[in-house]
């Protein structure tokens, strides 16, 4: 049975352009970029070329790019850099719908944390975030787009107001990167986390964008790589693949084209499921969202049996966020929104999704839900 992959929000397939760019650095160029011999200089050029490609997509200077091994590491680096050395009287502000990487990093940081709630669409109020800031606030961490329901946040408004107050801002753009424009320079944020593997770069690629002139303590120590901002040997092939994927998205309006196609596919998915099955609703903002992700609430059946039933039909989707499902606990994002946290299904498309993939989901979904409801009744 052919498989249909609709979990791009967890990780998208590797783009062919990224694969081809990586091959020479997997096969022919073993040099450490930190060495001065010819082999080292060859890989150093490749890393810096990729840095320029990533910077071009995200509107930053190449020197503002710090490569990391995951979005989680980028987020931890941002939180650690802003809070390291504090005496416990410092304060941070975040929202109730942040990724677990943000929540967990702040929990162990030497700061008191104020968590701002959201409305029923999963959106935080910019005014509420600003009202939570105190003279002791050293960091505000907000997401660009929610990782479970796709709702876009008022990031630019929050960042601009925090800049006026002299408060450092980290933006988690891991779900937005490669799907909507992320302009680091235009956002005037201090720190922005992005991932490569959600936009078609190899798994294990990500970056923290650090505003020029900002100094922070490195999270990963043990070397002077990344201009002493992240220790450890560089994954040259992965970084090259990340750069190639970003270059493809930045060329000739490709990001806008893919976003338009993703929007059409998810709109068709929403229309088809809600028309074919009673008791299905869309969680999150149906309009002001990232184009590639929708979260469906399915009345009468829990998400896991639906997910497993779809998998038996050859369709891969997800319930909840990619990092919380292993805990087998209700989604904290949906709980914060005040909606049913046990019956959500996250469906996400990407660069390789076809209309045939959407057809497969729309065929399998009614059958799976109908059979599961019959078993309950």
Annotated catalytic sites, by residue? Answer: 323
Radius of gyration of the chain (CA): 21
Pairing mode, strands 280-283 and 191-195? unpaired
The number of residues making up the chain comes to 377
Residue 231, exposed/middle/buried by CB under 10 A (0-12, 13-18, 19+)?
middle
Give the contacts of 341 (CB within 8 A, at least 6 positions apart). 330, 331, 332, 334, 335
On whether the CB atoms of residues 114 and 138 are closer than 8 A, the answer is no
Q: What sections of 84-224 are H helices per DSSP?
A: 100-108, 126-131, 155-165, 184-187
d(CA 274, CA 192): 36
DSSP result, 158-171: HHHHHHHHT--EEE
How deeply is 77 buried, as exposed, middle or buried, from its count of CB atoms within 10 A (0-12, 13-18, 19+)?
Answer: buried
- CA 146, 152, 156, 162 torsion: positive or negative? negative
Task: Evaluate whether 92 touches 138 at the Cβ level (below 8 Å).
Answer: yes
């Amino acid at each position: 049975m052919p498989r249909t992959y609709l979990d791009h929000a967890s990780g998208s397939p590797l783009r062919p352009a990224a694969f081809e760019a990586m091959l020479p650095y997997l096969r022919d160029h073993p040099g450490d970029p930190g060495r001065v011999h010819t082999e080292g200089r060859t890989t150093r050029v490749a890393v810096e070329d990729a840095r320029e490609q990533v910077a071009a997509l995200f509107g930053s200077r190449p020197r503002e790019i710090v490569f990391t091994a995951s979005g989680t590491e980028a987020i931890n680096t941002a939180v650690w850099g802003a809070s390291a050395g504090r005496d416990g009287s410092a304060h941070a502000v975040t929202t109730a719908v942040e990724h677990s990487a943000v929540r967990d990093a702040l929990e162990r940081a030497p700061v008191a944390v104020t968590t701002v709630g959201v409305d029923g669409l999963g959106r935080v109020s910019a005014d509420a975030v600003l009202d939570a800031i105190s003279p002791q606030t050293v960091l505000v961490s907000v997401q660009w787009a929610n990782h479970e329901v796709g709702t876009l946040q008022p990031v630019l408004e929050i960042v601009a107001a925090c800049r006026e107050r002299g408060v450092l801002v980290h933006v988690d753009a891991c779900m937005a990167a490669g799907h909507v424009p992320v302009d680091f320079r235009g956002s005037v944020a201090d720190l922005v986390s992005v991932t490569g593997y959600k936009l078609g770069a190899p798994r294990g690629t990500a970056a923290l964008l650090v505003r020029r002139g900002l100094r922070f303590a490195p999270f990963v120590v043990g070397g002077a790589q990344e201009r002493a901002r992240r220790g450890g040997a560089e994954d040259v092939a992965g970084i090259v693949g990340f750069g190639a994927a970003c270059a493809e998205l930045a060329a000739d309006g490709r990001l806008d084209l893919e976003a338009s196609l993703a929007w059409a596919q998810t709109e068709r998915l929403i229309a088809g499921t809600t028309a074919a099955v009673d008791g299905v609703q869309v969680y999150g903002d149906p309009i002001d969202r990232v184009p590639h992700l929708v979260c469906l609430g399915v009345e009468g059946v829990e998400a896991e049996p639906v997910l497993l039933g779809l998998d038996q039909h050859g369709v891969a989707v997800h319930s909840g966020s990619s990092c919380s499902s292993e805990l087998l606990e209700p989604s904290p994002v949906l709980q914060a929104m005040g909606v049913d946290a046990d019956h959500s299904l996250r469906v996400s498309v990407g660069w390789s999704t076809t209309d045939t993939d959407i057809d497969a989901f729309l065929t399998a979904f009614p059958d799976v839900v109908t059979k599961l409801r019959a078993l309950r009744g």
